Structure 1
Amino acid sequence: MDALAITGGSSLFGETRIYGAKNAALPILAATVMVEGTCVIDDVPHLEDVRVMAEILRALGATVERSGLQVTVDSTNIRLTNVPADLMQRMRSSIFLMGPLLARFGEVRVSKPGGCVIGQRPVDYHLTGMRALGAAVEEKHGYIRCTARRLQGTTVTLDFPSVGATENLIMAAALADGVTVIENAAREPEIIDLANFLKSCGALIEGAGETMIQVTGVHHLTGTQHRIMGDRIVAGTVLIAAAATGGRVTVENVSPAHLGSLLAKMRESGMRVETGRDIITVESSRAWQSVDLRTEPFPGFPTDLQAPFMAMLTTAQGTSLVRENVFEARFKHVNELTRMGADISVDLRTAVIRGVDKLSGARVECSDLRGGAALVIAGLMADGVTHVEGLHHIDRGYQSIEMHLRDLGADIERVQL
């Protein structure tokens, strides 16, 4: 069994370029099934979720080739619309194929997707959107089948600004007849990246990144070349790790505007933050103040950075309150942090973190992707050696995390237990 062996106490220093965003790459790769032609996607990270998405595309009949960080997809010869259930269960983002396949072929059959167990993430928002566009939706024996002779543009108001549902609706509407208006749309930067990709293929989309998006359907999309935006969650994780170890790190290829809420909280806790057009530097001493935060849809504090930031707060001066407003089961890392000496209590969606002098190395296990990143950061902070198990979760969203951190001075290696 693979694990990360981390000897704490080393501060992180240096500069690093952030690779392409997983949360942008996956919907964009899914969107290629709508394109009759070749799409060249640059800066695609080497992640387990990306590999699974490529397997799904091949299973459907697409040609997928990778050369370094470039992935080339030709979906011209896709004929299947039944997404393999075993692959769906390995990655929640496979639900992104629903809108594109339905839009292009008039039907799609998927099983309910898997992924990290961090709370209820129902596909109801997706299905409501497909129904609004005119699709018939049947749920039976764990499968979802959507059919439509032709999707029709309409107005869809989301009950919650779901990122996935917003993206699925944009993709489905891109090939629908007429105009679709998405109200209460999610505003995350990855949605803008998806829209930019689709527009380069010939789609007509206005308002991506705002609460109302308008999509005018076209009859076909053509091949293109597109570069994935930098991963703001990876950037945030690295910056938090630098701060938590009393270091100074500069990350490149990420917009400070994409991490505004995180940087505000880091400044509030006493970190020094400098920004440029696509560059962020964070520097800290080994003493920082407690802060309170609540996760919210963008531009609020990202739920994906709640666990990593909590790891840093375990040794802050004072008591911090963290309110999780997006996923109700996203405190599974707390038990592992307490094994390392953290003083944390949880009441439903609120965690109270009382700062301690230090953490101690321990053997801990990831239960989800971002919780795993929190345990890595805790290991970097702790006295002694920490073994982090369950790396398959971390590998879904971080490209060779041990090499990335080692280049910045961390004492970390992948070992067999």
Structure 2
Amino acid sequence: MDSILVTGNGPLNGQIPIAGAKNACLTLMPATLLSEEPLTLTNAPRLSDIKTMTALLQSLGAEVSSLQDGQVIAMSSHSLTSQTADYDIVRKMRASNLVLGPLLARFGQAVVSLPGGCAIGARPMDLHVEGLEALGAEVELKDGYLHAKAPGGLKGAVHQMRFASVGATENIVMAATLAKGTTVLKNAAREPEIVDLVECLRKMGAQISGEGTPTIEIQGVDRLHGATHQVVTDRIELGTYMLAPAICGGEVELLGGRMSLVESFAAKLDAAGVSVSETEGGLKVARKNGRVRAVDVVTEPFPGFPTDLQAQMMALMCTAEGTSVLEERIFENRFMHAPELVRMGAQIEVHGGTATVTGVERLKGAPVMATDLRASVSLILAGLAAEGETTVSRVYHLDRGYEHVVRKLEGVGAKIERIKGQ
């Protein structure tokens, strides 16, 4: 099994290009199931999760081709052969559940395994099911599979979500595009990935308004057509690399970055003593002077502080001046990186959904183990600021969400290499 060796060696300087958003691309790919005509995505990230979604769509009979070194994905669902998403593929990735709404909307039936993915809490499917049932679907759980049907087709409805779930919002919006009548989805998630999905669906002929607000209105249409769409910049990769100069010093420009994608996160960095400014090419990040200051963080749905940046922010707070409190309100069991950071000399106490971090002058390199996608990159960031060598094992998690992480960090002066497993 591969590992990554990081040696702390001072400030970082230069430019890092930011890829297309993993979470957006994984949402856009199932949209091909809504139409017989081709859907082409550009600016696609080259990640293992994208390969998993490709395999899932192909298992349903979709044609999926990777072009231009993986940055273009050409898809066609003109002759699907199945409406069943098997456990063997779905278990590998949470986003696999996003085929449920499109299959149900277009074919009136779908059988989808309960999903897998990172071990960061239960992430139940009940919000997805409630929304689809509001549109007239009949959904039954049997032997670990959701069996959904809508013999007379889906019908528009007003539905209020109990929680602003991103995945449930995406599934319901896609299903409602082909429903009869108007659907009003209240307490909808507002993430940029949802805005990006709606922009793509609109190019395909969907009639949708209100994306980016808590109320989305969808007027159902009889059919959707093909389209070409550019995947939005990955705000989580952007935020992750913004932390590199914050934790190491130096000045790094993130090419393709936009402040609108990371406003709440950038505000926290500013409070900690890290400058974030817009440039013609993206965002420039630099530590203002000396050691960063401790700041408290509460994860919230967009536009609040992203849960997917909590682990990386904790790495920064490990060497901050003072004590910070990080509260995780989105997912349970998402502090598994804390014991690994403690192995590097961090002072962290976890109680339920709250972690208290008392900053130390310097972390020390150590062998550590990645427990999930975002935890893996938080340990790399910590290693960049640590004294000596840090070996991060189980980095297959990293490949799910970050393309060319070693190359990108090497490009700004980091001492980092990937060690091939036996």
TM range (shorter): over 0.9
* Structure 1 residue aligned with 2:16: 16
1:175 aligned residue = 178
Contact 1:244 / 1:286 at 8 angstroms: preserved in 2?
Answer: no
- Unaligned segments of structure 2, at least 5 residues: none
Of 182, 202, 213, which aligns to 2:205? 202
What amino acid maps onto 2:360 in structure 1? Answer: V
* Worse-matched range after superposition: 268-277 or 124-133: 268-277
What does residue 356 of structure 2 align with? 352
Contact 1:11 1:246 in 2 (8 A): yes
CA contact (8 A) 1:256 1:277 kept: no
**C-alpha root-mean-square deviation of aligned residues, in Å?**
1.0
Deviates more, 1:248-257 or 1:22-31: 248-257
The one of 203, 228, 232 equivalent to 1:229 is: 232
Deviation at 1:389, TM superposition (A): 0.8
Once residues 15 and 404 of structure 2 are traced to their aligned partners in structure 1, the CA distance between those partners, rounded to angstroms, is 17
Q: What is the deviation of 1:404?
A: 1.4
Percent of aligned pairs with the same amino acid: 44
Contact 1:366 1:393 in 2 (8 A): yes
2:4 maps to 1:4: yes
Q: Distance in 2 between matches of 1:74 and 1:331?
A: 40
Query: TM-score, normalized by length of structure 1?
Result: 0.98
Partner residue, 1:49: 49
Post-superposition offset of 1:392 = 1.3
Counterpart position of 2:268: 265
**C-alpha distance in 2 between matches for 1:115 and 1:307:** 17
* SS state at 2:184 partner: strand
Residue among 131, 134, 155 paired with 1:132 = 134
Which runs of 5 or more residues in structure 1 are unaligned?
none
Residue 146 of structure 1 corresponds to 148
Provide the rounded CA distance (Å) in 2 between the counterparts of 1:10 and 1:74.
48
Contact 1:204 1:217 in 2 (8 A): yes
Instruction: Note if contact 1:256-1:278 (Cα within 8 Å) is conserved in structure 2.
Output: no
Show the counterpart of 2:79. Answer: 77
Partner of 1:117: 119
Q: Deviations over 1:120-143 (max 9, x none)?
A: 211100010111110110101111
The answer to whether the Cα contact below 8 Å between 1:245 and 1:286 also exists between their aligned partners in 2 is no
- What amino acid does structure 2 have at the position aligned with 1:258? L
- Which residue of 2 is the match for residue 408 of structure 1? 412
TM-score by length of 2: 0.97
CA contact under 8 A between 1:255 and 1:278: conserved in structure 2?
Answer: no
Match of 1:66 in 2: 66
**Corresponding position of 1:291:** 295
Secondary structure of residue in 1 paired with 2:84: coil
SS in 1 for 2:115: coil
Letter in 2 for 1:155: V
The one-letter code sitting in structure 2 at the alignment partner of 1:82 is T
Structure 2 residue aligned with 1:108, among 85, 110, 114? 110
Q: 1:88 deviation in Å?
A: 0.2
- What is the deviation of 1:276? 4.3
Displacement of 1:277: 6.9
Query: Which string of whole-angstrom CA distances, capped at 9 and with x for unpartnered residues, describes residues 366-414 of structure 1?
Result: 1111111110101111111111011111110111211111111111111
Contact kept, 8 Å, 1:405 with 1:412, in 2: the verdict is: yes
| Structure 1 runs of 4+ with >2 Å offset | none
Report the more deviating stretch, 106-115 or 401-410: 401-410
Q: Indicate the SS of the match to 1:64.
A: strand
Question: What residue in structure 2 maps to residue 366 of structure 1?
Answer: 370
Q: Offset at 1:78?
A: 1.0
Give the distance between the partners of 2:281 and 2:173, measured in 1 at CA: 27
Q: Deviations over 1:207-229 (max 9, x none)?
A: 01100000001111111100000
2:93 to 83, 91, 94: 91
| Alignment partners' CA distance in 2, 1:53 and 1:120 | 21
Match of 2:162 among 139, 147, 159: 159
Structure 2: distance between partners of 1:416 and 1:103: 44
Q: Distance in 2 between matches of 1:195 and 1:254?
A: 21
After superposition, residues 325-340 of structure 1 pair within 5 angstroms as 325-340=329-344
CA distance in 1, matches of 2:63, 2:332: 39
The alignment of Structure 1 onto Structure 2 pairs a total of residues equal to 417
